[in-house]
Amino acid sequence: MPTIKARVNTNQSQVVAKKLAIGQFNISMSDIADVDTTGQTDGAMMIFDGTSGKYKMSTQIDNENLSISGGTY
């Protein structure tokens, strides 16, 4: 667990954080709550799934809501 350091000031009934520092740490995509890395493979991309509310890995784009604009094809 990372070391968390904070400096606070009290202002009557409120506690106000002046500075918050969290030590160095490494996170991966699978550590993020709304990212499902199942199916992660070479060439996969992250696509948002509105049904599950998560970003999922996929090697195919198959969604009627997708619109790609730009570039010359």
Q: Of 17-21, 58-62, 68-72, where does mean pLDDT reach its minimum?
A: 17-21
Give strand ranges (E) for the chain.
4-11, 14-22, 35-36, 45-49, 54-58
Please give the pLDDT value at position 58.
87
Please give the pLDDT value at position 60.
84
**Residues 6+ away with beta carbon under 8 Å from 63:** 47
CA dihedral 43, 33, 48, 39 (to 10 degrees): 30
* pLDDT tens string 7-52: 655 555 665 556 666 677 777 888 888 999 888 888 888 888 888 9
The model's confidence at residue 73, banded by pLDDT at 50, 70 and 90, is low
Please give the model's pTM, rounded to 2 decimal places. 0.51
| Spatial CA neighbour of 7 closest among 16, 54, 63, 55 | 16
